[in-house]
Structure 1
Amino acid sequence: MTGVLITTLGGLGMFILGMKMMTEGLQMSAGKRIKAILSAVSSNRVLGCLTGTVVTAMVQSSSAATVMLIGFVTAGLMTLQQAVGMILGANIGTTVTAQLIAFKLSALALPAVATGVVLKYFTQQKKTRYIGDVVLGFGLLFYGMTIMKHGLAPIKSDPNFLAFFTKFDPSSMEGLLLCVVVGAGLTIMVQSSSATIGLTMTLASQGLLAFPGAMALVLGENIGTTITAELATIGSNNINAHRAARAHTMFNVIGVTLMLCVFPMFVKLVEAVTLSLGAGPVDQVVGDDLVNVGRYIANGHTLFNVINASFFLLVLPWLIKVAILLSPKEEEEIDYYRLPNFGDRLIDTPIAAIVESRSEILRMAETANYTFRKTVKRLQDRDYKKLAKWRKVENHLDDMQREILAYLIRIYQSDVSESEAKEVSSLMRMTNNIERIGDSVENIAQSIEDMIEGNLTFTERAMIDLESLVEKVLAFMELLTSAMHQRPADFMKQADKLENAIDAMREKFRDEHIQRLRSCECGIDQGLVYVSLLTNLEKIGDYCFNIAEAVAGKK
């Protein structure tokens, strides 16, 4: 008994390790293509579903794809409807793994392990090492299946085990629900529906599970996989992220519930479709194995998700409405004083982790924009009480910078591709320059405090010039925050134009100010404050241009 348990769990562990290595290798090698596909995603729900299928087939993990999509929603890079449509497709894409497992490729396992080790550990190029991860993971996955098969072989004739597995009989409602609950529970524990489907195929091929019981387990495994998306929203204050995860859970749970209502017909449909595709009978035995049952289970998994996705694509607007009702209420405005709460939920998925950090950098930029707008208003109303709030925001920007940089460093220290490492570097540059904007806003606030306390006033011409420079800086900051959502085609051209305009205005207004000093139109104290304001506004323009270069990927 102990030997059977250890061998089976060891094989399952090797399968999960192989699956993880293969998924990570595919993510690393296909990262640029995934981003290109996601950036071109259509608002058409059918095209979105197809896109989700392709992306998930590329990374071989619906959990990874779903977490990525939730990250993109959090960052505001795609709408809720786009994300939900793509998550429907992700459920179809993940069935490619089961189809792959159903092929009899165990003979290639050890050669794949040997090849993968050479590519991963004895080559210099990162791209080749990522391919090594994929090949090594592939080998470990199938070798783990072989070990599980050998581990379970001795119990086929044990009456106690046979009596235990007879409980998984979907002909009764109790047996059907037991299969679904166990399938969901196993998937929640191992956080991989592919692993539990692999285990189900092994049990069925050894004759320990009848095909209907195996299909009921697979339905439960589709429910269990939703836990990953729900975990990805823990700590997130983005409402749409919660809604996307809720929609993912709903269409799996509702889809399984509907399928259970017609379960006998569904099993017959899977058998008919698989037979029509040229497979042998489901109960065909060669040696000691049921050689065709794996193909039936894989086809059943695919068929369920295709039917489920097709149905929910038709009712997608209603699905989203219910998901909104079941999610936390939307806040009326941005929470400017909330610190990022990254945690560890995305750190193993660099693409999603980078997207999440980008969303927090966007919020940091919006916070800097907010405090700048509130501070320069005091030039007009000279409200000392309202001006005092800048200290709280400046301290908060410093705290945000520390949290974001710490997270970006963690991402950088993980196994990231060259393009991802470059993106992390750009995000660090953006974060540091946003914090410098906060420092300049602090200097502006202190200058305005000196004006109010000293009862200093500027000439009418000086105020008009100052306000025009403020408007130009505000336009630059607004351009940046909108470009972080979606970069316009002529973004750097606009950024260059604004940067040059701010520099030219600062020089012109300073020269005019010197003339006013010479003609005694302006006092020395007012002049010092005025020059400080011009200097800090021009510095903000410089920092904005640095951010623009990072947003455009130039630095």
Structure 2
Amino acid sequence: MTGVFITTLGGLGMFILGMKMMTDGLQMSAGKRIKAILSAVSSNRVVGCLTGAFVTAMVQSSSATTVMLIGFVTAGLMTLQQSVGMILGANVGTTVTAQLIAFKLTKLALPAIAAGVVLKYFTQQKRTRYIGDVILGFGLLFYGMTVMKLGLAPIKSDPTFLAFFTKFDPGSVGGLLLCVVVGATLTIMVQSSSATIGLTMTLASQGLLTFPGAMALVLGENIGTTITAELATIGSNNINAHRAARAHTMFNVIGVTLMLCIFPLFVKLVEAMTLGLGAGPVDQVVGGDVVNIARYIANGHTLFNVINASFFLLVLPWLIKVAILLSPKEEEDVDYYRLPNFGDRLIDTPIAAIVETRSEILRMAQTAQYTFRKTVKRLKDRDYKKLAKWRQVENHLDDMQREIVAYLTRIYQSDVSESEAKEISSLMRMTNNIERVGDSVENIAQAIEDMIEGHLTFTDRAMGDLNQLVDKVAEFMDLIISAMRQRPVNFMNQADSLENAIDAMRERYRDDHIQRLRSCECGIDQGLVYVSLLTNLEKIGDYCFNIAEAVAGKK
């Protein structure tokens, strides 16, 4: 029996590898379109649900879609309601995989593997290699199904194994719950509901599981898949990310619980629907195999998720309210001085990893903006104690830069598409220029420190000019941070206009300062501090323009 175990496990491993390759290939080839679709998602819950189903059907993984959506919520690119609506759709979209498996395309497995290897390893264009990943993954997936089937074939007549599988009898409450728990546990272990559904189909086709037993396992597998979203929130301080994950878990757990209450009726509904679509009897045996049961399982999986999504779309506001109650409490103040905590949970999903990094870059920009505002206030109130923290903040921005650049480098070293590589380059440019903003704020703080310690004052005209330049720089920073969330249509025109205005103001104010020096209205010491402030404010404008180009994807 060791051979049976090894062969079955090897087939499952091949299935998971094929699923992973196919998902990665689809993400790589369709990454730009996925992000465009997600960024244009409507606030209408039905449209959001349909979009989630479509995107998941494209990437063949509800886990990948859910992780991406958690990342978008963390980055502030979509609302909690939008993300939850799309997660409902993702659960429907993932049933496409089970439908694909049920078509019994095992004869195409070896030709697909051969074609996929040629495209992946013997072609030059990246897009062609990604298509090779999809085809090779498709072949491995179905070949894995064949290997699992061969591995399980010898135990169909073994009394010990038959006695074991009779425990998966949903005719009793205990047997029904056992099926659900085992299905959930297996999915948590392999992190893929498609893999466990594929295994369930194989067991059922070998006559080791009845159709009701297989459907109970599938319901459990729908609960197990929620662990992916929960893992994606580990280390995240974003409240809405936790809420989205909680809503996803509630959606599946409550849906399965309600379905278990009417389980016999649900099974009969699936059988009637599948027979009506032209399939043969569920228990038809040909050559020792139960030939139609995979189609019944796929249809049951789809029907459950469609019913579930339809019900929760109607009560979506209440679902979100309960998710909020079950999530960590929202903090009153923004946690500016927290280092990013990336970990490894998203590194295998570049789209989601990039979105998460973008959210941390946004937080870094907000930290720099917050520090700038706190620092320039000291020009007016000359409060030395409140100014004293600038060095600590500058060190924190340096640490954030190191963490973000290191993580972006790790993403870049994985298998990323050309568009993702370009986006990573832009994100690095943004990060480095935000850190340079911090350096200039440090120089401004030192200049104000010198001004306070030396009891230096500026003329009313000089102070007025300085305040106008500070306001213009603050306006530029506001524009940048707003565009990092959602870029306006005429963004670069606004950025170019602000950059030119800041340069012109700095030149004009410096010329005015020279005139005041000549007329002895201003002293040498005050003049040095004043010029330093003008120079560093103008530099912040330059860095903001560099960030604007990166946000717009120009560099």
TM surpasses 0.5: yes
Q: Which amino acid aligns with 2:19?
A: M
- 2: distance between equivalents of 1:453 and 1:105? 80
- 2: distance between equivalents of 1:348 and 1:498? 39
Residue 76 of structure 2 corresponds to: 76
Residue 461 of structure 1 corresponds to: 461
- CA offsets 1:96-123 (integer angstroms, 9 cap, x no match): 0000000010000000000000000000
- 2: distance between equivalents of 1:30 and 1:480? 28
Q: Which runs of 4+ in 1 moved over 3 A?
A: none
SS in structure 2 opposite 1:149? Answer: helix
SS in structure 2 opposite 1:124? Answer: coil
Pair 1:480 & 2:480 matched? yes
SS in structure 2 opposite 1:377? Answer: helix
- 2: distance between equivalents of 1:403 and 1:291? 54
- CA offsets 1:133-154 (integer angstroms, 9 cap, x no match): 0000000000000000000000
- 1: distance between equivalents of 2:465 and 2:317? 51
- 1: distance between equivalents of 2:104 and 2:237? 46
Residue 121 of structure 2 corresponds to: 121
SS in structure 2 opposite 1:332? Answer: coil
Residue 144 of structure 1 corresponds to: 144
Deviation at 1:285, TM superposition (A): 1.0
Residue 343 of structure 2 corresponds to: 343
SS in structure 2 opposite 1:76? Answer: coil
Residue 328 of structure 2 corresponds to: 328
| Paired positions, count | 555
Residue 551 of structure 1 corresponds to: 551
Deviation at 1:391, TM superposition (A): 1.2
Residue 257 of structure 1 corresponds to: 257
Pair 1:528 & 2:545 matched? no
Within 5 Å, give how 1:9-20 maps onto structure 2.
9-20=9-20
Within 5 Å, give how 1:417-436 maps onto structure 2.
417-436=417-436
- CA offsets 1:317-359 (integer angstroms, 9 cap, x no match): 0000000000000011210110000000000000000000000
Pair 1:408 & 2:429 matched? no
- CA offsets 1:498-543 (integer angstroms, 9 cap, x no match): 0000000000000000000000000000001000000000000000
Pair 1:46 & 2:56 matched? no
- 2: distance between equivalents of 1:525 and 1:420? 50
- 2: distance between equivalents of 1:75 and 1:490? 22
- 2: distance between equivalents of 1:538 and 1:226? 49
Residue 212 of structure 2 corresponds to: 212
- 1: distance between equivalents of 2:280 and 2:522? 96
Deviation at 1:392, TM superposition (A): 1.3
Q: Which amino acid aligns with 2:142?
A: F
SS in structure 2 opposite 1:416? Answer: coil
- 1: distance between equivalents of 2:13 and 2:205? 19
Q: Which amino acid aligns with 1:12?
A: L
- 2: distance between equivalents of 1:332 and 1:500? 37
SS in structure 1 opposite 2:42? Answer: coil
SS in structure 1 opposite 2:237? Answer: coil
Residue 366 of structure 1 corresponds to: 366
Q: Which amino acid aligns with 2:261?
A: C
SS in structure 1 opposite 2:54? Answer: helix
Residue 291 of structure 1 corresponds to: 291
- 2: distance between equivalents of 1:528 and 1:549? 32
Q: Which amino acid aligns with 1:21?
A: M
- 2: distance between equivalents of 1:133 and 1:334? 42
What stretches of structure 2 of length at least 5 have no aligned partner? none
Q: Which amino acid aligns with 2:291?
A: V
- 2: distance between equivalents of 1:111 and 1:493? 53
Q: Which amino acid aligns with 2:43?
A: S
SS in structure 1 opposite 2:223? Answer: helix
Deviation at 1:291, TM superposition (A): 0.7
Moved more, 357-366 or 385-394: 385-394
Deviation at 1:286, TM superposition (A): 1.1
Residue 538 of structure 2 corresponds to: 538
Residue 445 of structure 1 corresponds to: 445
Q: Which amino acid aligns with 1:243?
A: R
Residue 386 of structure 2 corresponds to: 386
Residue 352 of structure 1 corresponds to: 352
SS in structure 2 opposite 1:214? Answer: helix
Residue 202 of structure 1 corresponds to: 202
- 1: distance between equivalents of 2:93 and 2:508? 60
- CA offsets 1:430-482 (integer angstroms, 9 cap, x no match): 00000000000000000000100100000000000000000000000000011
